[in-house]
Amino acid sequence: MSVFNQVVLAPDDPILGLVEKFKQDPRENKINLTIGIYADANGKVPVLNVVKKAQDALFAEAKPHVYLPMHGLQMYNNSVQRLLFSEHNSVIAENRLATVQTLGGTGALKVGADFLSQLFAEKLPTVHVSDPTWDNHRAIFKGAGFKVEAYPYFDSETGGVRFDAMIEYFKALPVNSIIILHACCHNPTGADLTDAEWKTLAEVVKEKSLMPFLDMAYQGFAQGVQEDAKAIHIMTDAGVPVLIANSFSKSFSLYGERVGALSVVTKSAEEQVRVTSQLKKMVRANYSSPPEFGAAIVGHVLSNDTLRQEWFDELAEMRIRIHAMREKFTALLNEGQTKKDFSFIKQQQGMFSYSGLTQEQAQKLRDEHGVYILDTGRICIAALNEYNIIQSAQAIIKIL
Ligand code: LMR
């Protein structure tokens, strides 16, 4: 009898499992609105011009492929820090930010989860995620030994945030409770907090000594690169400790290169050195050190003023195209039927919209129309274009 006889089949991942199913679907007119990948007006995942330029420069250098240190490429980490905070911010000026390069945003969450689990080893606090959240949040923190619970977040009536309920929930939490927050472009709902709400939240975090962990996988997809980092600035201005997971998968269209970072805002330069040493230890125990190429591309672009500006412009193009698709999709859906008002799609931010469609409707969309959205009703607006938007809207209207 095989030792693996008792291994049970793992259920499909709610996002990546559907991507697999989509690939196997033989229908020619199928449409993939599942995973958070930006596709351009022609339905292609773009290679940014700044990425091409950086690649050319790196290939020309033809450096040997040595190991990176555990914390990754230092020039990349410096660039990340400048993207999260301006260099005038006291966090940077006082050398209080501990940053390590990670395997995408997921890697940052994992290293952060391990760090917190070690920090609180004597009495693990509970991790609180938004209801709903990116499915992998639960898996990552459960995997690091935490109990995971959900705080009130999405208001399905308004398509916005249940802010008062969320604040009441946080006020009742014990000290050191870890709260996972989406810095911008909430995944999966697209419903974000206002500046005033972030400020109120920061006060509660401070008063109750909570531990905020900000996940920022979509910087630049809501309002702009600096604007989208405002949650981080508000939290740090309040003087609370903050962990930040950021990713360049979407903003540089570098999905497969796994380029992310974990940053921890500390109280002093001396504390930063100790925290960094622990983050390096977590990296070593997970995967030793990160890969170089993607981080070298991002670092090359961000450390050059001209290229950085070009990147801002290319990112703005993506952001503007998504906004245009939101407008058009809303109009197509609202003009084509009277059962449901889809105006909330225009208000939501980032790549996704939480459509309110049920699991049965999502299934029907896939089975009968070849339009793939997640079972939760999440639609990737960033994958819509002039060629597939009408077919997608018509399919939704048919299954309502
Ligand atoms: C998503 O939510 O679709 C993306 O963040 C990709 C992923 O890994 O789930």
CA 250 to ligand 1 centroid distance, Å? 10
Render pLDDT for 293-331 as a digit per residue (tens, 0 to 9): 999 999 999 999 999 999 999 999 999 999 999 999 999
Cis peptide before 132 (omega within 30 of 0): yes
For residue 220, the CA-to-ligand 1 centroid distance in Å is 17
User: Could you read off the pLDDT of 243-277 as tens digits, one per residue?
Assistant: 999 999 999 999 999 999 999 999 999 999 999 99
Q: How far apart are CA 286 and CA 348, in angstroms?
A: 36
pLDDT tier at 175, thresholds 50, 70, 90: very high
- In the structure, which protein residues have their CB atom closer than 6 angstroms to any atom of ligand 1? 15, 35-36, 134, 187, 217
In angstroms, what is the span from residue 189 Cα to ligand 1's centroid?
Answer: 13
Q: Is 267 a catalytic residue?
A: no
Average pLDDT over residues 371-379: 96
Six token digits for residue 241: 């400790």
The proportion of the chain whose per-residue pLDDT surpasses 70, expressed as a percent, equals 100
Per-residue confidence band for 159, with pLDDT thresholds at 50, 70 and 90: confident
Q: What is the pTM of this model?
A: 0.95
